Chains A and B, each alone.
Chain A
Amino acid sequence: MNPKENFDSNFGEASVPASRLVTSLASPIDASCRVPLLVLFSGAALWLVVGLLLSLAAVMTFHKPDMFADCPLLTYGRVQPAANDALLYGFCIPAGLGVMLWIFARLSRAELALPLVPVVAANLWHFGVLVGVVAILLGDSTGFVWLEFPRGGSALLFAAFLLIAISAVATFGQRRECELYPSHWFLLAALLWFPWIYSTANLFLVAWPVRGVAQVAINSWFATNLIFVWLALVGLGTAFYFLPKLAGRPLQTYYLALFVFWTLILFGSWMGITVSAPLPAWMSAASSVAAALTLVPVLAVAIITFKTVRGVPHGGISCKGEPFCYIKFGTAAFVLSALMLIAEACPQISRVIGFTWFGPAQVQLQILGFFTVVMSGAIHELLPCVMGFGLPFPKLVRLQHWLFMPGIVLWAGSLAVGGVAQGMKLGNPQTAFADSTAAALMFLRVGTTGLLFILLGSLLFATNIFIMTLKWKLALFKSLLAAFKAPLATPSASASLRRDRAVAEGKGGEVKP
């Protein structure tokens, strides 16, 4: 196998979408990821729904401002950051980590190392998110964008991330060949990125806060490195694994991907300081230059994706709604959202769209359009392998895609257009301020429909995952029952079920199949 093809044909099903391998039994490698992934993904699916519900509650302010006038928990200024954090910390990061663990196990051709550690960590993580989101709703936010969780929640997240990283690195260490795949670089870098930026931000802003506007610089640095760079690393690492696998041809090309990796981490990490901030001018100048340079990896991602999928069956932009579509759509959304981010850093453009809904539009496109879509595609693809049985409602996969796609276009699109309309009015002091609000209002209201579509899609996603978990628990329970009834007849329970049981009972990897 040649890593330059980033094309792991381990089990020969590369050309057959796994969702169709309904009856195949999971390989030991896949099965080793089962329990950690289920915990990560089912929690994530729940947070996705919760986050979108909170987003909906937030946007309702623009339909009926006094809706939550008597309810401090749901006032816009609390529910809006809570929604964003639930989506990012609740869904994006754990989903990304789960997919990452599985990709590492697959690429290493080894079972997940220390499988119990990520199970504990996943529970810690989701508990940490719960603590954080509830704290925000109770008015205990730190006030820093994307870092709203108070200390307790952040500490839990940090510890959980480290635990998962340990398991991921150990799995990585078990690999049989030396050469790395493109996905490896992106995902490994992400493992380093998060603890670094998260600890820096928490130490300098929350634990021992620095004085004055240095907070603004650190907060912007953290937010960009998390929302742009970290999500890009994990999302692209995942896309660069699945694209060649689903297209049935190597990534086009290995060297271009290497180039993307380098330029992304070198330039992307300098973005985010806006021209408007009351900071020394060199900072925003450096950020603007970095943004211009980030154009290079972004265009390279577009080329890689286009060349990899062009001409293969179901390739190109044709689409039926299977996981392949998710990944293609997600990568396209990444390119678009990155272009929007770069545009915001350009002083001439930011004069119009600065401080408008264009910024939130970019964030929503990045989180929902890019990351959530890539992750749900990947999860739909890998979950049947991991579980050893197909999705309970494979048709919902397509339906979800056809809800997500228009939903995201409508939601992020109308926010962006509304932002431009608002910005044109804001920049002209002869128009009243209220006109700028009014200009964006109509778009916000239209966009709400898009948000509803996305919410429906996420419900389908959660349904598939929860029914799957339920089925698995039921099977587990049955096999336990059988084992209890006929202690000597254990061979009847399949090997993988016994492994699950062992993990569930807390014995980890000690069980011999």
Chain B
Amino acid sequence: MRNGVIVFIAAFIALGVSWCGFVLAPVMQLGTEKQAAVLNSSDVYPIGRPGEANQGLQVYRANGCAACHTEQVQQSGFACDVMITSAGTNPPAVIAAWWRMQTNFFPNEMTQRFYSVIPNSGGVPQFPFERVRKEIADIAVESFQNVGAKAEIHIIAIGPDIERGWGLRRSVAEDFLYDQPVQLGSLRAGPDLANVGARLPDANWQLVHLYAPQALVKNSTMPPFRFLFEVRKIGNAPSPDALQFSKAFAPPAGCEVVPKPEAKQLAAYLSSLRADAPLYEAPFTPIMTKP
């Protein structure tokens, strides 16, 4: 290449094209994103965080929690559970249909993980098929209905993160609509926090954990955030906010540990972390209780 202008133009084009792809296109495609409809409901998702939780997001940013925690749940696919809601008038026929399907059609497909039966039905299983493909679930529901039972399909997200209980579905763009900044994180030195509000709803647990993670989780490598708390002499009456600790982590006698406003905001933010709305792009059936 003979002159600098050509190099500049070459670099300009190369970078310009990738700029259009990864800056301009996302801004146009995602920057105008709106709330999405929650499946099978008239609600929209997400609704903004309450003010205190929003301040907590800034505490999270300032202390770089995202250096160790991600907020993005992964999912490898979907599966379906077939649930019999009513055994109908002829339970033995339902059981027979179930056996027939297992042995004749898809002997390799059935995985029944939680064995439970519908009460007073003579042994009709509540979840005859679990974690099966959609086509199979459809056939099964139809067959059960043909013998008078009522059955429905539950869509379940699958993948290691889901099995760890880190969420009900993968994280999607909508989950971060109101975050500024969006802090997905890239390292899991600690657990994923995308749904920590649903998993650990107790704000007091969060505060104690922030003050002394090792008090709640043995050998935790999470650094304590004691600077978000105040250790002070107990005045005339103990503060209602004071935290309770086991002996090893308790403050000196006559003192109490009281969260500063930042700690309370952070706990509020953590409680607000819950991505539990089924959406068109990441559906699941929100049934929380399993035998």
Q: Return chain B residues, CB-CB under 8 Å to A277.
A: 72, 184
Any chain A CB within 8 A of the CB of B3?
Answer: yes
A80-B64, A192-B8, A211-B177 known; A178-B2 Cβ under 8 A: yes
Determine, out of A95-103, A296-304, A354-362, the stretch whose residues face the partner at the interface.
A354-362
Q: How far is the CA of A211 from the CA of B85 in the complex (A)?
A: 43
Which one of A69, A76, A214, A265 contacts B227 once the chains associate, using CB atoms below 8 Å? A69
CB distance from B7 to the nearest CB of A (A): 5
Chain B residues packing against A (C-beta within 8 Å): 1-4, 7-8, 10-12, 14-15, 17-19, 21-23, 26-27, 29-33, 61-68, 70, 72, 74, 160-161, 163-164, 170-184, 186-191, 213-214, 217, 219-227
Which residues of A sit under 8 angstroms from B223, Cβ to Cβ?
A: 61, 65-69, 75-76
**Contact: B182 with A216, CB < 8 Å?**
yes
A273 to B72, CA, bound (A): 14
A209-B180 contact given A69-B225, A72-B227, CB 8 Å threshold = yes
**Distance A169 CA – B177 CA, assembled complex (angstroms):** 43
Residue pairs across A and B with Cβ atoms less than 8 A apart, 29 shown, are: A71-B227, A72-B227, A75-B63, A77-B66, A78-B64, A81-B64, A141-B64, A142-B181, A178-B2, A180-B3, A180-B4, A185-B7, A185-B10, A200-B19, A200-B23, A210-B27, A212-B177, A214-B31, A215-B181, A215-B182, A218-B27, A261-B10, A269-B18, A270-B22, A278-B176, A355-B70, A429-B163, A433-B164, A438-B219
Report which residue of A62, A197, A212, A261 has the largest number of chain B beta carbons within 10 angstroms of its beta carbon: A212
Cα A65 to Cα B171 in complex, Å, equals 30
A13 interface residue (CB < 8 Å to B)? no
Once bound together, how far apart are the Cα atoms of A68 and B72, in whole Å? 28
Which residue of the partner chain, among A68, A217, A433, contacts B22 with CB atoms under 8 Å? A217
Alpha-carbon separation in the docked complex, A356 to B186 (Å) = 8
B23 cross-chain contacts in A, Cβ below 8 A = 200, 204, 217-218, 221
Contact across chains for B15 and A278 when beta carbons are under 8 A apart: no
- Asked if A80 contacts B7 (CB within 8 A), the reply is no
Known: A144-B181, A200-B23, A278-B175. A77 touches B63 (CB 8 A): yes
Of all chain B residues, the one with the shortest Cβ separation from A266 is B14
Closest to A172 in B: B4
Query: Judging by beta carbons under 8 Å apart, are B226 and A70 in contact?
Result: yes
In whole angstroms, how far apart are the Cα atoms of A269 and B12 in the complex?
12
Check A356 against B21 for contact (C-beta < 8 Å).
no
Judge whether A143 is part of the interface by a CB distance below 8 angstroms.
Answer: yes
> Are B33 and A212 in contact, with the CB atoms below 8 A?
yes
Contact indicator per residue, chain A 137-149, by CB within 8 Å of chain B (1) or not (0)? 0011111110000
Q: How many residues of A contact B (CB 8 A)?
A: 88
Nearest CB of chain A from residue B70's CB, rounded to whole Å: 6
The answer to the question of A131 belonging to the interface, with a C-beta cut-off of 8 Å to chain B, is no
User: Which residues of chain B come closer than 8 Å to A77, judged between CB atoms?
Assistant: 63-68
Quick one: closest B residue to A433, CB to CB? B191
How far does the Cβ of B2 sit from chain A's closest Cβ, in whole Å? Answer: 6
Min distance, Cβ B279 to any Cβ of chain A, angstroms: 11
A69 touches B33 (CB 8 A): no
> Does A213 touch B at the CB level, under 8 Å?
yes
Q: Tell whether A276 pairs with B72 under 8 Å between CB atoms, given A62-B221, A437-B189.
A: yes
Partner of A212, one of B2, B182, B225: B182
Chain B positions within 8 Å of A179 at CB level:
2
> Residue among A178, A217, A221 with the most chain B CB within 10 A?
A217
Q: How far is the CB of B68 from chain A (nearest CB, A)?
A: 7
Q: Are B181 and A205 closer than 8 Å at their CB atoms? A: yes
Shortest beta-carbon distance, A8 to chain B, in Å?
A: 17
Known contacts A69-B225, A185-B1, A196-B15: A209-B66 contact under CB 8 Å: no
Q: Do the beta carbons of B31 and A265 come within 8 Å of each other?
A: no
Considering the chains assembled together, what is the distance between the CA atoms of A53 and B26 in angstroms?
A: 38
Which listed segment binds B: A279-287, A310-318, A370-378, A494-502? A279-287
Q: Are B227 and A217 in contact (CB under 8 A)?
A: no
User: Smallest CB–CB gap between A191 and chain B, Å?
Assistant: 9
Distance in angstroms between the alpha carbons of A280 and B177 in the assembled complex: 15
In the complex, residue of chain B having the shortest beta-carbon distance to the beta carbon of A426: B188
A180 touches B31 (CB 8 A): no
Of A72, A200, A213, A433, the residue contacting B63 (CB under 8 A) is A72
Q: Which residues of B contact A26 (CB under 8 A)?
A: none
User: A262: nearest residue on chain B (CB-CB)?
Assistant: B10
